[in-house]
Amino acid sequence: MDALELEMPAPSGYLVPMSAPDIRPEDVELVTRVLRSGTLSLGPYLTRFEQEFAAYIGAAHAIGVANGTAGLHLCVAAAGIEDGDEVITTPFSFVASANCILYQRAKPVFVDIEEDSMNLDPELCRQSVTERTRAILAVHVFGQPCAMTELTRLCAERDLSLIEDACEAVGSEYRGRKVGVFGKAAVFSFYPNKQMTTGEGAIVTTNDPALATLMRSLSNQGRDQFSKWLHHDRLGYNYRLDEMSAALGVSQLGRIEATLVRREGIATQYDRLIADIPGVQPLHAVPSTTRLSRFVYAVRLAPGIDRDRVIAELDKKRIPSRAYFMPIHLQPFYRERFGFRPGDFPVAERVASSTVALPFHSNLSREEIEHVTDALRSVIALS
């Protein structure tokens, strides 16, 4: 086995892990080197990770931060979003993409999604712009790029900031260009279930030097680059990325292309084995997506198949699976605060109720894939 073998038992007796980080000896060596150096924060590996990641994406600047949520908050704050402002975003996402708007006391304005891409419907975005709209926060769900041509045009016409939530999309390409360079800023997350990991941790990218300087200050307790250590120029946050995480990021980034190819190969194996299961449709790249970086392997179930029952029956067979995502507007907090109800965003709700994520990680074996698909086939046969 080429990945470092860690003593991590499968949770709850599952036969196949839902996800797993790809940690190798060279990763451990680089992190160990940092620990031995004595420089554990604000050191050379953070600078190197930022520079190498910016070069990979094709952005002018990159800022390492503590996690994806912190990165999204920085983007919203640096865009000047404040009380009473509105930010258009998707209800079909992880909750952080809406919460970061509330952190600035602004209002998330949800817009329904396209059925095929599962991303923001750009025409509905256009219809939702008001005099209070200040930004569009577009989420590249499952690594599928949003309709960036239409969204960038709309933002230019209405003088809106475009923020890319690319937390699930490192390496994804829209019409031949990597995501993360279309908007005012973008965020990439490296949680352990992502294509590459730093444990926790994320990077913000931007082509705007002034915005990069501001976000560096905001992430470091409001200190400017040349300020004295205890001199704070503005209200800031402790959103720094530590040296150990940055070193792991450097090592993981060094093999990101090979990792993405391997994950695509695993998805292709799944596709072939699922092709003959009635009522199960794998997710595929839409025409504008020239590269789909695989975050998860998700399938859509046909109408009439009870998604929750499928998950429960797979669990009985010791195969983990997940409902991706519960729409944000139906989360208890959002229903209580804003009065959202089922039916408000029907496409997002329909997609959410029929989507299942199957076990997926960079080192999933063919035998494990066959085990998962055999279990799914038997469960669907009883539906």
**Per-residue pLDDT tens digits for 5-49:** 333 444 558 999 999 999 999 999 999 999 999 999 999 999 999
How is residue 31 written in tokens? 């992190």
Predicted local confidence at residue 12, as pLDDT: 59
Are 238 and 322 in the same domain? no
Give the tokens for residue 74.
């920085």
What CA–CA distance (Å, rounded) separates 281 from 270? 11
pLDDT tens digit string along 251-267?
A: 999 999 999 999 999 99
pTM, to two decimals: 0.95
Looking at the domain assignment, is residue 50 inside a domain? yes
> According to the model, what pLDDT value does residue 98 have?
98
- Residue ranges in 204-287 assigned as alpha helix (H): 209-219, 243-253, 256-274
Residue 306, domain member (yes or no): yes
> 167 and 272: one domain?
no
Q: How far apart are CA 162 and CA 148, in angstroms?
A: 10
Q: How far apart are CA 46 and CA 208, in angstroms?
A: 20
Query: 151 and 300 in one domain?
Result: no
> Looking at residue 56, which CATH number applies to its domain?
3.40.640.10
Per-residue pLDDT of 296-331, as tens digits, reads 999 999 999 999 999 999 999 999 999 999 999 999
Mean pLDDT value across residues 208-232: 88
Q: CB-side exposure of 280: number of CA atoms within 13 Å?
A: 26
Indicate if 233 and 331 belong to the same structural domain: no
Residue range(s) defining the domain that contains residue 90: 25-253
Sequence-distant (6+) residues with CB within 8 A of 230 are none
Do 247 and 260 share a structural domain?
no
343 within domain boundaries = yes
What do you get for the CA distance between the two ends of the chain, in Å? 37
Q: Are residues 73 and 185 in the same domain?
A: yes
